[in-house]
Structure 1
């Protein structure tokens, strides 16, 4: 009997030892995996820094460098503003620039934290963003222009055209945000996003889910530059601050309307299923405009990736009808 107990005890000890070893191996594997992801991200980020190809030109804004791209020699100027967290606006807008530049001087603004611009210490309030964009244009001696913006630029643009009404010829929204669209008061998970970037998991996730990289139909070299700049700018302090300010920025715009005599045209995706009342919300914005128009296009939120030709054709016809 004693022998049987001793055998059982030995078996239990052996089993416990196996379990403990398995747990230890599992923990070590996790630690090694996390360390590998982190180290690969650090090394890759450093390597990619040297692969970034400069484009555009620098202007001094609030003591920092803001990057802008200027193409075309038309008499009128179109200023392009990006949607939220667009990693490299000047590259993202490439199809639209190609369609606009035969007729206009095209200026792409890369706000702080975007593209090749510096990161600012100032919070990303509408007031700061709009002021910085205006300072950049003033530095370039551009004081009369068409404002064309994608997505959240609809919020900043609404504030902009009210502050600088005498400078703006018209406003063009590309699936642009509306102050009353809702779902902007959810807590913004800055800490989680920060951890994703610092740990290197944002790089891993992009590697595993390649559809996270949003690019227009451009050459492979340009796509690679967008990928590098996406990883560089993803969840940087300005992008996080802008996200944290969504609610206050949208609320600040709720009582704003487009100036009555300012020509306004919206290009919207015709099958938006994410935002309730997407088209009626824009119709409401246009109701008091003397020159207001809406064009529905088949496509996703990034209409300028696939429908730039139609956007430019319809915009030129819209402006010709006013003149």
Structure 2
């Protein structure tokens, strides 16, 4: 009898715990989507929302700066960066005084519609071009791509050189040969990330990873940025991108051909040359694990970790970066040691480099 009673009590406790978990998940889901809707409404009212049809869905095109400026700069977001028209502005504020700046959220990003289509470089670039055409924004363009946006910029300037007067890569994705057997897909993350986003946990992850960079914004914009990034990460289009990055890097590499278009590559994550470079930027040896250094070295000591990180950085420069720069053609590399989101990490220094490059186009 005592065993049956214990089982009944245990069953009731487990049921209560299950109900509490369900209630928690339901609450976080509802709160998240209410806040996301609020953020989207705020941005629409502030004038950031300008949907432009590219077929069966629309992309958001936000133009700012000097409409009659010297250059039309097209901003191409890195992976998951659905808030670029907010986060990039510390870097672009001075640039906008003399140039027109156009932020295009590709499918699934920011305020654009989501889609289940294949997000190949060809598809993405054609949608960028269609959105610009349908917005009445004419070439020539100066492309400015961060991270994965750099891959799309590479494809664009190689295939439509007559439209492009210059390219700025802000720690852009390198294109290089990746054998088919070594290409990695999104794996379990493709199923897990949308669930995490839908249940409302994505903002917590983004705050922990990027919160220190977003503090330069107002509280309202910081909240808007976090929720736009969360929404973007859960979109079908961005998951499709993530699943194909290795394939697309290899494909674009094979199709690349050098052009005479002036290019500037701001090299951030591979620009560290000494241990002191890391230390001066507040980068601990522990933080280099899984980024530059294999986890097996976690107990090797600080000096060994820094040394291995520098060795790996040099190896990646030799194997990935240098062949890519050469194949791009007419590419000036400017080293600016810092985080991959260098436009948030060191926006003023990025701005200075970009302005000098633009000034060079006009000289």
Considering the TM-score relative to the shorter chain, is it more than 0.5?
yes
Aligned twin of 2:94: 99
Paired residues of 2:151 and 2:175 also in contact (CA < 8 A): yes
Task: Give the structure 2 partner of residue 40 of structure 1.
Answer: 31
Whole-angstrom CA distance in 2 between matches of 1:38 and 1:49: 17
Say whether residues 1:81 and 2:80 are aligned partners: no
How far, CA to CA, are the matches of 2:354 and 2:25 in structure 1? 50
Shift of 1:181: 8.1
Shift of 1:138: 2.4
Alignment partner of 1:59 is 2:52:
yes
8 A contact 1:190–1:244 mirrored in 2 = yes
For residue 31 of structure 1, what is the aligned residue in structure 2? 22
Structure 1 distance, partners of 2:87, 2:350, is: 15
Structure 1: how far apart are the matches of 2:105 and 2:215? 17
Q: 1:318 to 1:91 in 2, by over 3 A?
A: closer
Please report how far the alpha carbon of residue 240 of structure 1 lies from its aligned counterpart in structure 2 after TM superposition.
1.6
Flag the 1:122–1:17 CA change in 2: closer, same or farther, 3 A: closer
Question: CA 1:278–1:82 in 2, change beyond 3 Å: closer, same or farther?
Answer: farther
Match of 2:350 among 304, 308, 311: 311
Counterpart-to-counterpart distance in 1, 2:247 and 2:76: 20
Q: 1:282 to 1:212 in 2, by over 3 A?
A: same
Provide the TM-score with structure 2 as the length reference: 0.75
Length-normalised TM-score, structure 1: 0.83
Q: 1:254 maps to which residue?
A: 253
Kindly report which structure 2 residues correspond to 1:106-255, keeping only aligned pairs within 5 A, or say none: 106-139=101-134, 140-180=136-176, 185-188=184-187, 189-203=189-203, 205-206=204-205, 210-213=208-211, 215=214, 217-255=216-254
Q: Is the 8 A contact 1:85 1:239 kept in 2?
A: yes
Partner of 1:6: none
Q: Is contact 2:53–2:131 with CA below 8 Å preserved after alignment? A: yes
Aligned equivalent of 2:303 = none
Instruction: Tell me which moved more, 151-160 or 14-23.
Output: 14-23
Distance 1:316 1:39 in 2: 44
Evaluate the alpha carbon distance shift between residue 148 and residue 16 of structure 1 in structure 2; reply closer, same or farther with a 3 A threshold. closer
Contact 2:185–2:245 (CA<8 Å) still a contact in 1? no
SS of residue matched to 2:85: helix
Which residue does the alignment assign to 2:324?
A: 285
Query: Following TM superposition, by how much is the alpha carbon of 1:46 offset from its aligned partner in structure 2, in angstroms?
Result: 4.6
Q: Structure 1 stretches of 5 or more lacking a match?
A: 1-9
CA pair 181-175 structure 1, distance change in 2 beyond 3 A:
farther
SS in 2 for 1:225: helix
The Cα offsets for residues 34-86 of structure 1, whole Å up to 9 and x where unpaired, read as: 33333433444455554444416343322533222222232222211110111
Q: What's the C-alpha RMSD, in Å, of the aligned pairs?
A: 2.9
Q: Residue 94 and residue 293 in structure 1: after superposition, are their counterparts in 2 closer, same or farther (change >3 A)?
A: same
Secondary structure of 2:162's partner? coil
SS in 1 for 2:59: strand
The more displaced of 300-309 and 48-57 is: 48-57
Provide the residue aligned with 2:281 in structure 1.
none
The structure with the greater share of residues assigned to helix is: 2
Q: Tell me, in whole angstroms, the C-alpha distance in 1 between the residues paired with 2:123 and 2:329.
A: 30
* Unmatched runs of 5 consecutive residues or more in structure 2: 273-277, 279-287, 293-311
